Amino acid sequence: MNATGIGAAVKRKEDFRFLTGQGTYTDDINRPGQAYAYILRSPLAHANIKNIDTTAAKAADGVLAVFIGDDMAADGVGGIPCGWGVNNKDGSAMAEPAHPALAQGKVRYVGDQVAIVIAETYTQAKDAAETISVDYEELPAVINMEAALAGGPLVHDDAPGNMSYDWGLGDLDAVNEGFKNATQVSKIDIVNNRLIPNAMEPRAGIGEYDTATGEYTLYTTTQNPHVIRLLMGAFVLNIPEHKLRIVSPDVGGGFGSKIFHYAEEAILTWAAGKIQRPIKWTAERSDAFISDAHGRDHITHAELAMDADGKFLALKVSTKANMGAYLSTFATSVPTYLYGTLLAGVYSTPAVYVEVKSVFTNTVPVDAYRGAGRPEASYLLERLVDRAARETGHSQVDLRRKNFIPNDAFPYQTPVALAYDSGDYNASLDEALKRADVVGFEARKAESERNGKRRGLGYSTYIEACGIAPSAVAGALGARAGLYESANVRVHPTGSVTVYTGSHSTGQGHETAFAQLVSDTLGVSLESVDIVHGDTNKVQFGMGTYGSRSLAVGGEALMKALNKITDKAGKIAAHCLEASEADIEFKDGQFSVAGTDKSMAFSDVALTAYVPHNFPHETLEPGLEENAFYDPANFTFPGGCHICEVEIDPDTGTVSVENFVAVDDVGRVINPMIVEGQVHGGVAQGIGQALLEGCIYDESGQLTTGSFMDYTMPRADNIPNMDVGNTVTLCAHNSLGVKGCGEVGAIGSPPAVINAIVDSLWGLGVRDIAMPATPQKIWQAIATAQTSQAAE
């Protein structure tokens, strides 16, 4: 390894601009002649639009235009598409109601887009929007999933029963057989609370139309510019790719919420063409709460069948997943292919069956949020296994070890479609047990009890599927896009390098980690490498950043391109050094002839490629630039063990996270500092979900947690210090052996926290606690348990 190559904890290249206020986020960009937009949103969860009167708004100071849904319909603008088709159990297609960018005839959630007002200044646009008179005929709203399925008001006339699909996976007969043979069954009813992603940078965009070239440009806060170009160009606005440019500069966090094609993107781009001026829009935080796709929101019943020895025989899961009012871009894949397929977990359960009903409600659309389906799977499984251990008299560690997929079983075919390539679940459990000083727990617990407190320990041994995914598999499972990645490596004449990657960064540090791959492979310094992403006019093509795929898929594409570079450079060196290709060795940036002192620096080879006076013209073209596309052979499967220790004050219900240990197997680590940072951030979001965050709608569909005053974000005084470590098994099917680290924290941590709380309160008779486990809920659970015990 060189000092800046694979495995080095080098400091980030991107930090200087961020630390000095010189980053360029979308809202930092201003275009000549730019106008400003305000999006008028529905204040009602469900209503027919009888009439919209924009006369006063159009006449207001500075207003350039006002558009409503009818205007877009008149131009033949299409609806916002869903990117993943899921079939029902009977093979029929899911219900997929139209999703107009600006509401047409009906609004379906508080926040639904009703009109765009464009003016010389933002305040003029906002003031004018207040004069728009919308005649709403309010309809009963349906918020609760159970009510929606039980004959509640229809969100869409063409989605009977408010269901998009009723999907199933697994061998139901085998599962039923397992339950028949079971001596012990543990059951759980569980809610995965609805979350609001809240990346710190609100979404923003600038639409622009060039009358001279007929080219549209959209600056937007997206995780995947090419996906937006494809979806918006081909399905919504009918603009061919060569006339549509998507630019996504520095992105201030995404966590999934900036994957999706949002209505505002299409509205801005279309409207820019109408008024032939650039139009800028920036979400206020209150817009973000009611228009960024929310996450999670599952209700599940599950049963685990075991034999007398605690061996898992079968698992049966029934889940309802909230879609909100419309199908967001990848919403349909989250509770199916990213959830149902993970329900084997790290266990060798021979039979698993899962059914998922996806439900329309009058709420903000729900889609992928950090982990996307996998946190829901790990939360369910690890809460159920925790309960099974308590009910069967096993220790948490023993029941898990007894059922782990053994190391010699890889590649391991699960009963729910996935084939795990590698893992060592005992190794991460052992390491976590050591770091968490589980041996000393009883003494710490006794000390807490002497102080009138309760102490608990919670485990989570989880797995996830990352690096999504093989295109062929994704296609067979309903994806309407490929899931490969691309890279272009352009070596310049003096040996510096520009990489164009189809991945993108929302803060993960790709400009550093990808440059480390280049430095490692070509022997050049990090300073001589630039990573370019986020602009469809610069980058050849790409699928973007999500599902912890950037390194496992984008990094592999880069390695393929780099290998083509060293291959060609080796041929050029062989020519210049008058040696055969077979005798050329490449190390630390030097090509040398084996067994001689003849050598040539990489930068000299690059110069020769561009100043080809002495060059093998008969076999090679001048220049040194290579492209590669990489489509992975399988998902990657990071996994690990999280252990959380809490202390609870039973008088107040207050939880203190005393220790949090995360031991993750993310495969080979390229930059340990960045990996640790990803785990820290993921765990903080997981602790947030477990203890603080929860989205609440009232019965009429008003979001009551619509600001940072009402929705509790984790802050510096909520998040403990963490002990983060790694065990390593290499991914078996990519050259780097990497698995992905962006989501492990958010996937592994929530069950560890809640299991710790349940552990601390089990002796008081508390059997369950719902997320977020607020002091009020905990206090109430203790009080209820004690009342019922007293009554017995």
130 CB-near residues (< 8 Å, 6+ apart): none
- Which residues, numbered 483-522, are part of the site for other proteins (CB under 8 A)? 506-509
Site string for other proteins, 740-779 (x = CB under 8 A): -----x----------------------------------
Question: Which of 7, 153, 249, 253 is in the footprint of other proteins by CB under 8 A?
Answer: 253
Distance in Å, CB of 642 to other proteins, minimum = 13
Is 472 one of the binding residues for other proteins (CB under 8 A)?
no
175 vs 644 by CB, closer to other proteins = 644
Site string for other proteins, 198-217 (x = CB under 8 A): xxxxx---------------
286 vs 318 by CB, closer to other proteins = 286
Distance in Å, CB of 682 to other proteins, minimum = 8
Residue 223 per-residue DSSP state: S
Is 674 one of the binding residues for other proteins (CB under 8 A)?
yes
Site string for other proteins, 283-302 (x = CB under 8 A): -xxx----------------
532 vs 730 by CB, closer to other proteins = 532
53 vs 284 by CB, closer to other proteins = 284
Report how many helices (DSSP H) and strands (DSSP E) the chain contains, helices first.
Answer: 20, 28
Q: What is the residue whose two structure tokens read 């199933």?
A: 168
Is 220 one of the binding residues for other proteins (CB under 8 A)?
no
Tokens (6 digits) for 71: 């205007």
121 vs 238 by CB, closer to other proteins = 121
Choose among 775, 588, 770, 792: nearest CA to 190: 770
Is 684 one of the binding residues for other proteins (CB under 8 A)?
yes
d(CA 615, CA 621): 9
> Nearest 5°: phi and psi at 713?
-90, 145
Distance in Å, CB of 144 to other proteins, minimum = 28
How big, in percent rounded to 5, are the helix, strand and coil portions of the chain?
Answer: 35, 25, 40
Distance in Å, CB of 249 to other proteins, minimum = 11
361 vs 545 by CB, closer to other proteins = 545
5 vs 682 by CB, closer to other proteins = 682
* 3-state secondary structure at position 627: strand
Distance in Å, CB of 712 to other proteins, minimum = 11
* Piece of 138-146, 179-187, 278-286, 697-705 that binds other proteins (CB under 8 A): 278-286
Distances (CA, A) of 512 to 92, 499, 529, 541, 728: 46, 12, 9, 21, 22
126 vs 311 by CB, closer to other proteins = 126
| CB-CB neighbours of 138 under 10 Å | 12
Is 130 one of the binding residues for other proteins (CB under 8 A)?
no
Full DSSP string of 409-473: G-SEE-TTS-EE----HHHHHHHHHHHTTGGGHHHHHHHHHHTT-EEEEEEEEEE--BS---HHH
Site string for other proteins, 711-740 (x = CB under 8 A): --xxxxxxx-xx------------------
131 vs 318 by CB, closer to other proteins = 131
Full DSSP string of 300-326: EEEEEEE-TT--EEEEEEEEEEEEESS
Query: Among the residues of 585-657, which ranges form H helices?
Result: 602-610
**Strand arrangement of the beta sheet that strand 163-170 belongs to:** 163-170, 351-360, 312-324, 298-306, 184-192
d(CA 236, CA 259): 17
Distance in Å, CB of 770 to other proteins, minimum = 23
Distances (CA, A) of 43 to 109, 111, 173, 298, 532: 8, 7, 48, 25, 41
* Piece of 55-63, 68-76, 549-557, 702-710 that binds other proteins (CB under 8 A): 702-710
Question: Which of 255, 546, 591, 635 is in the footprint of other proteins by CB under 8 A?
Answer: 255
582 vs 716 by CB, closer to other proteins = 716
| CB-CB neighbours of 86 under 10 Å | 23
- Which residues, numbered 13-72, are part of the site for other proteins (CB under 8 A)? 14-25, 27-28
Question: Which of 233, 547, 677, 748 is in the footprint of other proteins by CB under 8 A?
Answer: 677
Distance in Å, CB of 49 to other proteins, minimum = 28
- Partners of residue 106 on adjacent β-strands: 48
Tokens (6 digits) for 178: 């397992």
d(CA 156, CA 154): 5
d(CA 467, CA 414): 18
Question: Which of 681, 701, 740, 751 is in the footprint of other proteins by CB under 8 A?
Answer: 681
Distance in Å, CB of 691 to other proteins, minimum = 13
d(CA 180, CA 177): 5
109 vs 255 by CB, closer to other proteins = 255
Distance in Å, CB of 272 to other proteins, minimum = 20
39 vs 49 by CB, closer to other proteins = 39
Full DSSP string of 379-395: HHHHHHHHHHHHHHT--
* 3-state secondary structure at position 699: coil
- Which residues, numbered 535-594, are part of the site for other proteins (CB under 8 A)? none
82 vs 747 by CB, closer to other proteins = 747
11 vs 187 by CB, closer to other proteins = 11
Question: Which of 433, 673, 783, 785 is in the footprint of other proteins by CB under 8 A?
Answer: 673
d(CA 293, CA 278): 26
| Residues 179, 304 contacting (CB under 8 angstroms) | no
Site string for other proteins, 171-200 (x = CB under 8 A): ---------------------------xxx
* 3-state secondary structure at position 215: strand
90 vs 717 by CB, closer to other proteins = 717
Tokens (6 digits) for 255: 């966590």
* Three-state secondary structure string covering 74-93: HCCCCCCCCCECCECCCCCE
Question: Which of 3, 709, 790, 791 is in the footprint of other proteins by CB under 8 A?
Answer: 709
Question: Which of 676, 693, 743, 759 is in the footprint of other proteins by CB under 8 A?
Answer: 676
Question: Which of 432, 513, 529, 683 is in the footprint of other proteins by CB under 8 A?
Answer: 683
- Partners of residue 655 on adjacent β-strands: 648
Beta strands in 727-773 (DSSP E): none
Question: Which of 232, 251, 325, 377 is in the footprint of other proteins by CB under 8 A?
Answer: 251
d(CA 792, CA 774): 27
Cα Rg of the chain, angstroms = 28
Residue 745 burial class via C-beta count within 10 angstroms: exposed 0-12, middle 13-18, buried 19 and up: buried
Distance in Å, CB of 200 to other proteins, minimum = 4
Is 250 one of the binding residues for other proteins (CB under 8 A)?
yes
* Piece of 139-147, 315-323, 355-363, 668-676 that binds other proteins (CB under 8 A): 668-676
Distance in Å, CB of 602 to other proteins, minimum = 28
Number of residues that bind other proteins (CB under 8 A): 57
226 vs 510 by CB, closer to other proteins = 510
Q: What is the dihedral of CA 730, 733, 737, 738, to 10 degrees?
A: -100
32 vs 160 by CB, closer to other proteins = 32
Is 704 one of the binding residues for other proteins (CB under 8 A)?
no
Question: Can you give the binding site for other proteins, defined by CB under 8 A?
Answer: 11-12, 14-25, 27-28, 123, 198-202, 250-253, 255, 284-286, 506-509, 673-674, 676-677, 680-685, 707-709, 713-719, 721-722, 745
